[in-house]
Structure 1
Amino acid sequence: MRAFFWAAWLGLCSTPLLAAPPQGFSFAQKDWELACDNTGACRAAGYGVRRGEVSVLLTRNAGSEQHLTATVTFAQIEHDIPADSTASLLIDDRDFGALDALDESHFRLDSDQTTALLQALTNQRKIEFTLNGQHLPLSSAGSREVLGKMDAFQRRTGTADALLDKGDAGDDAILPATPAPEIIAAPVLHNAQPVPLSMLQRQKLLPILTPLLNQRCDDWQNQAIPAADRQITLTALDKTHSLAQALCWRAPYNDGYALWLVDNAQLSKPRLLTTEASSYADGAIVFLHKERGMADCITGETRVWDGKTFTPSLKYSTGMCREITPGGTWMLPTFVSQVIPRQQKEADNLALRTLYNAVLKAQKSDPELSLNKVAEQFPLTGHITDFTLTYADDTLITTSKPSPDISDDEWQAFLRSSISADSENGKVSFTLIDLDGDGKRDLIIDSYVGGTGLFSYTGVLKRGDDDFAAVNGSDSDNGDDFDAGVPGALFSINGRGANQWNHWVKINGQVYALWYNGQFGEDNLYLLRPFSTTSQTPAVTVRYRYTLNSIRSPEKDQPLTPSLSDGDKADLLRSLEVMQGSLLKDRPASDNDAPICPIPPGTSADEADNYYSGVAVNYIYETVAYIPVWLNGKCYIGTIFSHHGAYRHGVDAEITLSSPREDEEVIGDYLISGLRHVIAITSGWKTREGDNGMQ
């Protein structure tokens, strides 16, 4: 199923900003090839020793700590891969176990299998994949050159992250990921069909079009081609523009069309766009080049109408001509983008403005600000059905329809979708609701997975003709460390190591998941549109300051340890006030060159390191700041931590006092708290942060 890969690479685009995006490129050596795109992601494809047998794809995102993933597929030119097929990896005749089936034609290697494959490639060992017991050798010819190019492009050479030439160089120079550029697609007339030119259009256009056709289009007057194929047509683009189209050239397996952009009010001034187009439909010009009739190797480009011109949105190939898959074996892009309909962008901006205004209004009557109450102002409406099902070993306990409010058509579509989800207790919750306004109810999946983070996952599946399916590419992974928990994963909630919640809302008729992530001094409300692939999200950010005037012992009704004189307490309160202007999360990563306490003369270099940070805290807390605390004339380091700004009539925070001097240890803890007040409310589009179950 090639659709898996056409969706999967979309998930690679959700990444931090980069000032100068990398330039994509492709490279081939013997039986291996490489394509790296403008986000920094690289994909290396290798093929079997013999044609028409097997191919493997190695994928790695840009950025540090990114795992290499491996997927294998088998030839499908003459016949499909049988249902319920099994595949495995063998190296030097040693069986490394069965591969996980991703769909009916692709299998994933786990981290151990991927490591073994990589080592075998770099050491020229015998590699075989099996399909239903048939041994199919993989070629390693050219793999070292390709993997070396991947390392070089992602600037990993000489680091511990390198695939080939590992070293002890730091990872600071590794190529960071960059988001795919955003293209706002203008409204177009959908399903517009080409029509012959009217008499007036012929009078205006032919004097301009004909000379160029005669000059640049070899097959414009080729009598061997039927006249119906060579006529000039006009296709409505939008309310004010059309596309003039004519066959320019015809070659084995490929056609090329000339396209002109025509202003309907100025027919005599058409603008030539290309003489190489394969087709136009619904605002996109497609360029395809098939290497041969079976179309197992294609290069392509798509350009999208933005209201002024057609801008490139995708450039790719589908791999070498190795008789693996009709339509191409892999999706190997060198340029990707995020295409967003203008109506969607405008609707999301309006929803963001509505949410922002609601937060502003709430803050005026509630200075401490309860964002839950803001979320409740936008309840879901429409036909909504909630139900819960029980699974055992990824299989439904019963296939009986759980609610009469579910139509027979919806239930059959649900069963055809073969939905399963991780769950600590086997129970998975579902909601049927129209998420995108197309008149058909889609599916929300909620499952409590548990684990050390007490994670819950939420996914969304879109209703198609016959089933429910993921469309947002979020199931693309980063190796075995990633587990989306549910199909179509949209977000997770960390119940222990974060301060998070979600609320489904409807704003101006559009359904969003309102995802909240709290920190000390800052709350973020993100509006997640189901089925959207954008790397940035509309968000409202609220910044707070606290009146930290409560200091007490962690032990109920016990005195402070160590005790504080009135002067020491006043100094500590002043330090807590100053600290709020320089929280750790707001400081650049490089801003750690000042000691917290003064370093006494004669202190050794090793001991001096103790003066730059405080104590390590449990993962369930956020380290807020380090401050100097003076007691009886001696400086101690105060490590301030919080349960991510959790707030209930006062912020949840604590300070641990430790000594930087090696002959002293932690000397005590204080609980600190105080009321908050809003100091800033802003809105805009930003990369969603804090979803550590999904990132």
Structure 2
Amino acid sequence: MLILAALALAQSAPQPGPMQTFGDWVVACDNGKRCEMTSLLPEADIGAEGDWQISVVREAGPTGLWSVELMGEVKPGIRLSIAGSDAASASAVWRGTEFSGGQALAIVRAMVNGRIAQLHDARGTLIGRVSLTGSSASLRFIDAQQGRAETVTAAVATGARPASAVPAAPAIPVIASVRPRGAAVLSPATLKQLWAESDCGENYDGDGLPSVERHALGDGATLALVPCGAGAYNYSSVPYVVRGGKAVLAEFDSPPGWGGDDGPPMLVNAGFDPTTGELGSYAKGRGIGDCGSSETYVWDGKRFRLVGARAMGECRGSTNWLTVWRARAVPR
């Protein structure tokens, strides 16, 4: 019954979770109420590529735990220290994996009133700083999104209500997917149709038409990705599904980040995994990849269904895009 209920839930259009910027931090929660916040470069340093980042995750539900991760040229022995008031201090040594348990909790508690996070190497030399401006507001956002306000589990909006008052983590959708099988078939006539209907050939006048990428979807269906122009670091393609020699635009339960109501769905830097059947789109806002959006889909026999979405709306040095949607694909 639980699987049937989750499958029914998956029929509705995906509603990605919220994302918010507070000072030098971005925070987002997905549809399962798992929340993550990540540091940005301060405004004065926009345009530079960040060397160090901190990511903080809290799982949903009454017993949801914290984890803290360092990102950059991280090596075992690096010490993370939170500086601020006497009550806002914590220190932990990186052992090669995320901080969890009591260490993560101490770091988070110190961040509430902390001013700066400092990183020292094993010899005690200062090697990096991460601004904590906005981290407290981000933690409060997580409290609100997960229903923790005024409970003993809150990071900022603490209160006397017990952990049992925190809502359980919502179930994520389960999607029955078709695993790829068979052969990818595109006849010369179908290729001609794809180029004519997509109008993408106009982007290659005089240069010759590039190859159309094709993948078997199963049950006689072929995914055709028609190249449709390129920039410095983004390569666009229009997806079609071909059956019995007839090509139609691919359908999505949640459209890719590019394209619009007046045009066809547009994948960016598309990739297809023939083993899992996952179709990905990854649109970068800048060449260094510190902002943009990405979507991952699976084929259910009729349309592509969203199983993962990540985003970063601030072009401020963070290559840690935050998850705003999750679903679980079950091969059928």
How far is 1:20 from its partner?
Answer: 8.0
One-letter amino acid matched to 2:63: E
Aligned partner of 1:275 in structure 2 is 266
Is there any run of 5+ residues in structure 2 with no aligned partner, and where?
1-5, 252-264
The equivalent position to 1:201 in structure 2, one of 190, 197, 203, is 190
One-letter amino acid matched to 1:201: T
Matches within 5 A, 1:420-439: none
The equivalent position to 2:99 in structure 1, one of 82, 91, 108, is 108
Give me the whole-angstrom Cα distance separating, in 2, the residues matched to 1:299 and 1:136. Answer: 28
1:32 correspondence with 2:25: yes
The equivalent position to 2:237 in structure 1, one of 228, 251, 257, is 257
Q: Tell me, yes or no, if the aligned pair for 2:82 and 2:114 is still in contact at 8 Å.
A: no
How far is 1:67 from its partner?
Answer: 2.8
Structure 1 residues 225 and 175, CA gap change in structure 2 (3 angstroms): farther
Q: Tell me, yes or no, if the aligned pair for 2:82 and 2:111 is still in contact at 8 Å.
A: no
Structure 1 residues 279 and 127, CA gap change in structure 2 (3 angstroms): closer
Aligned partner of 1:335 in structure 2 is 325
1:222 correspondence with 2:200: no
Give me the whole-angstrom Cα distance separating, in 2, the residues matched to 1:225 and 1:122. Answer: 59
How far is 1:156 from its partner?
Answer: 1.0
Is there any run of 5+ residues in structure 1 with no aligned partner, and where?
1-16, 343-695
The number of equivalent residue pairs is 297
Q: Tell me, yes or no, if the aligned pair for 1:47 and 1:54 is still in contact at 8 Å.
A: no
The equivalent position to 1:134 in structure 2, one of 126, 141, 157, is 126
1:157 correspondence with 2:149: yes
Aligned partner of 1:243 in structure 2 is 223
Give me the whole-angstrom Cα distance separating, in 1, the residues matched to 2:41 and 2:106. Answer: 17
Give the TM-score, by structure 2 length. 0.76
One-letter amino acid matched to 1:108: F
Give me the whole-angstrom Cα distance separating, in 2, the residues matched to 1:102 and 1:93. Answer: 28
Partner SS state of residue 141, structure 1? coil
Aligned partner of 2:71 in structure 1 is 73
Give me the whole-angstrom Cα distance separating, in 1, the residues matched to 2:154 and 2:85. Answer: 27
Deviations 1:335-379 (A, max 9, x none): 11222322xxxxxxxxxxxxxxxxxxxxxxxxxxxxxxxxxxxxx
Give me the whole-angstrom Cα distance separating, in 1, the residues matched to 2:41 and 2:321. Answer: 18
How far is 1:311 from its partner?
Answer: 0.8
Aligned partner of 2:198 in structure 1 is 213
Matches within 5 A, 1:242-641: 242-264=222-244, 267-268=245-246, 270-273=248-251, 274-277=265-268, 278-282=270-274, 283-317=277-311, 321-323=315-317, 328=319, 330=320, 332-342=322-332
Structure 1 residues 29 and 308, CA gap change in structure 2 (3 angstroms): same
Structure 1 residues 238 and 225, CA gap change in structure 2 (3 angstroms): farther
Q: Tell me, yes or no, if the aligned pair for 1:92 and 1:127 is still in contact at 8 Å.
A: no
How far is 1:85 from its partner?
Answer: 4.6
Aligned partner of 1:53 in structure 2 is 51
Give me the whole-angstrom Cα distance separating, in 2, the residues matched to 1:134 and 1:301. Answer: 38
Give me the whole-angstrom Cα distance separating, in 1, the residues matched to 2:53 and 2:206. Answer: 39
Structure 1 residues 85 and 160, CA gap change in structure 2 (3 angstroms): closer
How far is 1:176 from its partner?
Answer: 1.2
Structure 1 residues 27 and 236, CA gap change in structure 2 (3 angstroms): same
Partner SS state of residue 89, structure 1? strand
Structure 1 residues 99 and 48, CA gap change in structure 2 (3 angstroms): farther
Q: Tell me, yes or no, if the aligned pair for 2:16 and 2:30 is still in contact at 8 Å.
A: yes
How far is 1:29 from its partner?
Answer: 2.1
One-letter amino acid matched to 1:43: E
How far is 1:235 from its partner?
Answer: 3.4
Q: Tell me, yes or no, if the aligned pair for 2:60 and 2:168 is still in contact at 8 Å.
A: yes
Aligned partner of 2:259 in structure 1 is none
Partner SS state of residue 304, structure 1? strand
How far is 1:160 from its partner?
Answer: 1.6
Q: Tell me, yes or no, if the aligned pair for 1:120 and 1:126 is still in contact at 8 Å.
A: no
How far is 1:153 from its partner?
Answer: 0.8
Q: Tell me, yes or no, if the aligned pair for 1:159 and 1:168 is still in contact at 8 Å.
A: yes
Aligned partner of 1:483 in structure 2 is none
How far is 1:72 from its partner?
Answer: 1.8
How far is 1:312 from its partner?
Answer: 0.7
Give me the whole-angstrom Cα distance separating, in 2, the residues matched to 1:59 and 1:332. Answer: 10
Q: Tell me, yes or no, if the aligned pair for 1:297 and 1:321 is still in contact at 8 Å.
A: yes
One-letter amino acid matched to 1:121: M
Q: Tell me, yes or no, if the aligned pair for 1:29 and 1:143 is still in contact at 8 Å.
A: yes
Q: Tell me, yes or no, if the aligned pair for 1:47 and 1:322 is still in contact at 8 Å.
A: yes
Partner SS state of residue 236, structure 1? strand
Larger radius of gyration: 1
Q: Tell me, yes or no, if the aligned pair for 1:313 and 1:338 is still in contact at 8 Å.
A: yes
Partner SS state of residue 115, structure 2? coil
Aligned partner of 2:78 in structure 1 is 86
Give me the whole-angstrom Cα distance separating, in 1, the residues matched to 2:216 and 2:51. Answer: 45
Give me the whole-angstrom Cα distance separating, in 2, the residues matched to 1:234 and 1:65. Answer: 46
Structure 1 residues 240 and 66, CA gap change in structure 2 (3 angstroms): same
Deviations 1:31-62 (A, max 9, x none): 10112111111111124656523211111111
Deviations 1:590-634 (A, max 9, x none): xxxxxxxxxxxxxxxxxxxxxxxxxxxxxxxxxxxxxxxxxxxxx
Give me the whole-angstrom Cα distance separating, in 2, the residues matched to 1:233 and 1:86. Answer: 45
Give me the whole-angstrom Cα distance separating, in 2, the residues matched to 1:142 and 1:93. Answer: 16
Structure 1 residues 130 and 306, CA gap change in structure 2 (3 angstroms): same
Give the TM-score, by structure 1 length. 0.39
Partner SS state of residue 221, structure 1? helix
How far is 1:305 from its partner?
Answer: 1.2
1:44 correspondence with 2:37: yes
Q: Tell me, yes or no, if the aligned pair for 2:18 and 2:28 is still in contact at 8 Å.
A: yes
One-letter amino acid matched to 1:123: N
